[in-house]
Each structure stands twice: as C-alpha cells, then as structure tokens.
C-alpha cells in the first residue's frame, strides 16, 4: 500500500498543530475522513437535502435511494445475507443499548446471567448493568491474562445454564487484543447462548464476515472507519430482530397508530424511529468504497507492520510499560503505555505541543484500568494513513518528555 499516496486523500493531515506538522495517532477514538466522504456529505446538503421514505417528489426519492443503497453496501461489506438485518443507529453505544433494552427486557429474567469480559468498553458494560439491575440478573466477567488476552480456562463454567448472552469486544480499544470471536460464539451457541459482538475497533481494520462468525448481533460505528460521526450499525439475525419489540417509538417506525395501540413496520424500519442522520449515512457509503478500493487485507498488513515497529522502538525507552499482547497476529493497531511515573495527561499535553495527537485517560474502560492497576494510560493508535516516520517521531518525542520531567532540557 502506498501510504504517501493514501495520505493525499486526507486533507486534515496537511495541517499543523502549534506550528508543527500534525501527527495523528488517535484513530481508535475516531478516524480521519478522505475527501470523497467529505464531498459526499456536502453534496447531499447541496443537491438532495430532503427527508426520506416519506416524500413522493424527486428530491426525497433520490435521497431515499441513496440512503438505502448504503444499507445494501453495509450488508455486503460485512457479509450479511439480508439487507433487513442492517439497522442504522447513532453509534455503537446506541446499537448495544438497543439490544440490551429490546432483547434484554424480553429475555433476561431474575437470576439469569450476562457474561462480559474484563476488557470491555463502557458501552458494552453499562447497558448490561442497567438491564441486570432492572431485571434482577447477574453480571459475570471473563478475566484476562497477564499478556492482555482473554483467559478462557474457565469459559465452560462461566457459560452456565443461566447465561442468556455473551457480550464481547472483537478488539480491545485499550490493549489492541483481537479476541477469538468465532471460537467464543461456537462455545456459546453450543449451550444455546446468544452472542453480541462489539465490533467498533475491529471492523475498520480487517475483514468481517458476520455470516461466517455466526454472531447474533454485531455493532459498530461509521466514524471509526473513515465515515462521518453520528452513524452506527447494528447487525442482527432477522429472526431475532423480528421477535423483539422496538427500542424507540415515534415517527417512521410505525405501520398504524390507533388511540390505544400501534403496529410496526417490518425490519429494519421498526428500529429506526424519527429522521435519521441522512447525509452522514449516504456519505458512509463512500467510506466503505474507499476501504474496499484499498483492500482490507492491505490495511491489516500495513497496520501489523506499523504496530510491530511501534512495539520495537517504544520498548527501548527507559521506564516504559506497554500493556497488551506483543504478538501482532493477535493485536490490532493500538499501543497503550505508561512512561515511568509521568501522568498520561501530562504526557499527552507535552506531545500535543510537538503536534502529536494521542489519547490519554481511562479510555472508557475503568474496570480494565483497575485490572491493570493503573488510573490511566497513554494510547497511540494507528490506521491506514499512519507512517513509520510518525511512529519514530513519537518515540523520539517520548525520550524528550522523559528528560523534561526528570532532568530538564
């Protein structure tokens, strides 16, 4: 992959921060957008701004067709057999909340168990906590090893007769760990347990096939995979989605409304109440097209090379602790670390002065921080536009940071 050529498609990468060239190493939080996505968003508002599914005039019909073509493209991109299995939400968080509320309230009862892992993002913890508190259910967690991988030695006992669902991240936003999702799904299904996969960190970086995985639900966001913010996707097996009530009520999701009751539209519209983020959904199609043009295998190969180099140069720094797997075969483009006893926020501010954007904090994973016995970490995350030179500049700047905090310049 020609990274220099790729970078020309991302106008924001040409700008400077504090007079220094921008080194963007926070793609796990949100990715940058190529020109084709930016132009598609602008084009919608300039040429076809109208509400969808309702108007019988040309502008509305054009917008509706563009919106629904994105649904088809998403289904093809993730290997879904049916377009009606693709529900648009505002983000991954809402997609998981939809499952917890609509499926959970119907199927999880007092005494039942919900199985999570210690590396989950808050978005895949809090909705289940709320459900468990409401229904009288119990949360259980798969632990992690010292290497930052799931400890599956007790999985058979954790998947008990009371377990109703396993909700698990495909790739950790802190550790970069790529979990053996297909194995977990097979184990759960053998006991009649459903599986929801939080794919927000995985789907931008390698090929996902929900049919091959056989997951019951798969949730992700457009903004982490070159698309606009405000667009999430929930994939659900159609027979499951058909069996559960709507998440939100209001316009567009109804078939008929009477004074005392209402009926619902068929999938997926039953779960898409109100006016959606039309322009961003339409622009999301361009993000998928861009990823397909580059090739997901090419993107994965590039990120493995970048991550391998990052681990090599960062582990040479005196006083550094790197969290998570060191094997890039089971690790995505994320490196979380601590440098001596420098607080990650201080480190992040100093790096910002040199034009380097990283994330510092608990990364919406406070239970994992407690397992790691730290309050926060610094995190550098990579994508298809990250270069080896940027990683080397990060390492050199961290050396300067250590000298600054301990000995001065």
Known catalytic residues are 364
Residue % of the chain over a pLDDT of 70: 99
Nearest alpha-carbon partner for 209 in 384, 81, 72: 81
- pLDDT of res. 407: 65
Whole-number mean pLDDT of the chain? 97
CA distances from 132 to 98, 140, 164, 228, 280 (A): 15, 11, 11, 33, 34
SS3 assignment, position 166: strand
Helix H or strand E segment including 107: helix 104-107
Answer whether 375's CB lies under 8 Å from 362's CB. yes
Tens of pLDDT, residues 206-216: 999 999 999 99
Mean pLDDT of 336-348: 96
Between 35-44, 86-95, 219-228, 400-409, the lowest mean confidence (pLDDT) is in 400-409
Mean pLDDT of 257-264: 97
CA 167 – CA 195 distance, rounded (Å) = 6
- pLDDT of res. 409: 39
DSSP H helical segments within 142-258, as ranges? Answer: 155-158, 181-189, 210-213, 238-243
pTM, 2 dp: 0.97
Q: Which domains does the chain have, with CATH numbers?
A: 3-32+295-406 (3.90.1150.10), 38-292 (3.40.640.10)
Answer whether 335's CB lies under 8 Å from 378's CB. no
Six-digit token string for 238: 């159609």
How confident is residue 193, by pLDDT bands cut at 50, 70 and 90? Answer: very high
Six-digit token string for 1: 């992959």
Residue % of the chain over a pLDDT of 90: 97
């Amino acid at each position: 992959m020609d990274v220099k050529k790729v970078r020309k498609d991302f106008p924001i990468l040409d700008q400077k921060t504090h007079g220094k060239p921008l080194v963007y190493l926070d793609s796990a939080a949100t990715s940058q957008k190529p020109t084709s996505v930016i132009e598609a968003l602008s084009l919608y508002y300039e040429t076809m701004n109208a509400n969808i599914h309702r108007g019988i005039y040309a502008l509305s019909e054009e917008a509706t067709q563009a919106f629904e073509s994105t649904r088809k493209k998403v289904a093809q991109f993730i290997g879904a057999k049916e377009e009606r299995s693709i529900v648009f939400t505002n983000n991954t968080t809402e997609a998981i909340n939809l499952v917890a509320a609509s499926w959970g309230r119907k199927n999880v009862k007092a005494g039942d168990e919900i199985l999570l892992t210690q590396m989950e993002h808050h978005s895949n913890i809090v909705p289940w906590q709320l459900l468990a508190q409401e229904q009288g259910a119990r949360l259980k967690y798969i632990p992690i090893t010292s290497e930052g991988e799931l400890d599956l030695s007790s999985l058979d006992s954790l998947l008990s007769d009371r377990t109703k669902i396993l909700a698990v991240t495909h790739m950790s936003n802190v550790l970069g760990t790529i979990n053996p999702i297909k194995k977990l799904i097979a184990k759960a299904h053998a006991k009649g347990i459903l599986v929801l996969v939080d794919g927000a960190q995985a789907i931008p970086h390698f090929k996902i096939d929900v049919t091959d995985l056989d997951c019951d639900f798969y949730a992700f966001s457009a903004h982490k995979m070159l698309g606009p913010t405000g667009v999430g996707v929930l994939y659900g097996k159609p027979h499951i989605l058909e069996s559960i009530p709507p998440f939100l009520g209001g316009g567009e999701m109804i078939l008929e409304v009477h004074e005392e009751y209402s009926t619902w539209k068929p999938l997926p519209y039953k779960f898409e109440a109100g006016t959606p983020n039309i322009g961003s959904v339409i622009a999301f199609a361009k993000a998928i097209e861009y990823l397909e043009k580059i090739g997901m295998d090419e993107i994965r190969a590039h990120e493995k090379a970048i991550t391998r180099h990052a681990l090599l140069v960062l582990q040479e720094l005196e006083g550094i602790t790197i969290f998570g797997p060191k094997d890039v075969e089971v690790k995505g483009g994320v490196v979380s670390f601590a440098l001596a006893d420098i607080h990650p926020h201080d480190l992040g501010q100093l790096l910002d002065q040199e034009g380097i954007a990283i994330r510092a904090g608990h990364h919406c994973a406070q239970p994992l921080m407690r397992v790691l016995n730290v309050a926060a970490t610094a995190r550098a995350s990579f994508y298809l536009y990250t270069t080896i030179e940027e990683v080397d500049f990060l390492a050199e700047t961290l050396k300067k940071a250590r000298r600054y905090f301990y000995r001065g310049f």
